[in-house]
A = this chain, B = another copy of it.
């Protein structure tokens, strides 16, 4: 008898392991299917479905199958047991059932309205991730990759505009969606679809903030493939990366906004506390992320004589790079800050400093590793979104709320892009043309971040309604807008097939010819930027990387002993070697650009480098949203576009 019991228990345990395998296998299967489909589509140059859209579609189908093919099988489902002895829910519970003690682990609090509808289908339940997996495992590589692959040169040229869209735009979007939703909620209360207490204005704002995180991954992939105008690409990419960060911190700040008296009344103290929270969390996360980047740069840079450089052990180097970057995320989370923001700026710092110190082997390794992790994580999330429509057990579909959300999202996007573009165009010399604005409006896709924020809390009925609605908006925008990107590009006559380097040269050259006289008048507008660049180039780069001028030439003479200690021996040679200079230019043209005006003699440059002279104006212009270029828009909707769209 005892043996038999043991036998059964082994069987059970095996069954348990196999279950875990089955769920992972389903995900693997969906991803394999997605990859094969995308391969097929790429062969036919069929651009209406991006891999994320495909993953979502397959997830949806699989969710449908799991939902209606598997049956609820468990005993004791939906029955609530009374427990008088306890006052609150402990994290583990030991329960004696027919003389056998079982250990149960706390999972979540269930609202009363969910108890009855609580279907205990174990398959559905097992296909449901813990939301913390999104935040701790799947999002960090995506966000880090975004930061790491930021094209700094173009990004900084448009930094002012990007910051405006990201901060001001996200705030506008959040408030507009919040207001519209509040209107709809009021209407719903009027028509009796909703009880008053279920939806406060803060809830509407929360929904607004989580729906403000745009994720135009589909659009950007197509832009990248077709080599769409670099400025448009950069504006969109920069905005989407930063507004994720802003939206996450905003959501966090709103969720802890707690007016003392009436939740619907405006409480100035609580409001300012939330604003303070927002700024504090953002700044703290930024600091945390960049310091990890700097630490990595320092470690990878160590050139003490007694030590072999770390880059001679590429595996250790890659491992350290990976672990420190992930630690940036985790430390921020552990400190109560926002890991996503930290990991984003960690990525930017790593790309700016650490990347230059890595061995060529590690450069490639880290790039490919993060690219691959990004690819997998993104597809897993989109796949899971598809699954969630059918496997999530507490959906609340409220047509009016969904309609309101769609209206809110589009109006909010419009009141973000158009007014801000108008304002920016007042300052920018190189205006953001109408068709770019339309394209940006069109690219307001919602994706992984909005989903992750919405699924983080689905305990109350209002949160469940938000989650369902967010999911539908993601589906709609990814499939419809994502699929419509190529036709839209054609229709808006946005030029494709642009070589980013050529583009920059052309723009810079045309600008030099026409605007040389305006340099002095605009120079001041960017003073903050120039100070930063000077500091970065003269002190930070030499301390943290092998690039840049030796510290001995940038620091005052009396600092020479320290400077010599801190400067990499290779820094002295670098500025004389043409090959190396060229390399630094390609990687970080801005720094090199500054070079020409710094007090280090630059050797006579060959033809490749001759673009540096106009490039210099880039920085002197500064462009805190005030870039001074005339757009050389070519209406080449005809021949070259056909080539690549065929």
Contacts and interface: CB of A to CB of B under 8 A. Distances in A.
Interface in A224-262: 255-256, 258-259
Nearest to A255: B10
A485 B336 CA distance: 46
A333 interface: yes
Nearest to A132: B20
A3 B200 CA distance: 11
Nearest to A299: B36
Given A14-B336, A81-B83, A364-B364, 12 more contacts: A18-B336, A21-B136, A25-B331, A28-B330, A36-B320, A75-B87, A76-B90, A80-B95, A102-B106, A322-B376, A365-B372, A368-B369
Given A103-B108, A132-B17, A96 B74 contact: no
Given A81-B95, A90-B76, A375 B258 contact: no
A316 B82 CA distance: 53
Contacts of A259: 3
Contacts of A90: 74-77, 120
Q: Which of A32, A39, A316 counts the most B-chain CB atoms under 10 A from its CB? A: A39
A110 interface: yes
A263 B369 CA distance: 51
A306 B43 contact: yes
A25 B320 CA distance: 14
Contacts of A6: 258
Contact of A9 (B2, B132, B320, B459): B459
A180 to B, nearest CB: 23
A112 interface: yes
Interface stretch (A307-315, A440-448, A532-540): A307-315
Contacts of A29: 327
Contact of A333 (B17, B97, B310): B17
A334 interface: yes
14 contacts: A4-B258, A10-B457, A17-B136, A18-B333, A24-B330, A25-B331, A74-B90, A75-B87, A79-B94, A80-B95, A80-B96, A87-B98, A88-B98, A102-B110
Given A96-B83, A132-B16, A333-B18, A320 B88 contact: no
Given A7-B258, A76-B90, A132-B17, A106 B109 contact: no
Interface size class of A (residues with CB under 8 A): 35 or more
A86 interface: yes
A105 interface: yes
A89 interface: yes
Given A258-B3, A372-B315, A43 B106 contact: no
Contacts of A94: 78-81, 110, 115, 118
B112 A21 contact: no
Interface string A546-565: 00000000000000000000
Q: How many copies does the complex hold?
A: 2
Given A93-B95, A306-B43, A104 B104 contact: yes
B92 A9 contact: no
A8 to B, nearest CB: 10
Nearest to A106: B104
B109 A316 contact: no
Contacts of A318: 372
A149 interface: no
A386 to B, nearest CB: 17
A101 interface: yes
B92 A107 contact: yes
A326 interface: yes
Contacts of A424: none
A203 to B, nearest CB: 10
A66 interface: no
A93 B306 CA distance: 61
Contacts of A324: 32
Contacts of A135: 17
A104 B101 contact: no
A166 B375 CA distance: 39
B105 A105 contact: yes
A200 to B, nearest CB: 9
A369 to B, nearest CB: 6
Contact of A105 (B31, B36, B107): B107
A433 interface: no
A104 B100 CA distance: 17
Contacts of A183: none
A577 interface: no
Given A28-B330, A88-B97, A110-B94, A42 B78 contact: no
A323 interface: yes
A74 B398 CA distance: 40
A29 B78 CA distance: 42
A588 interface: no
A319 B376 contact: yes
Contacts of A2: 197, 263
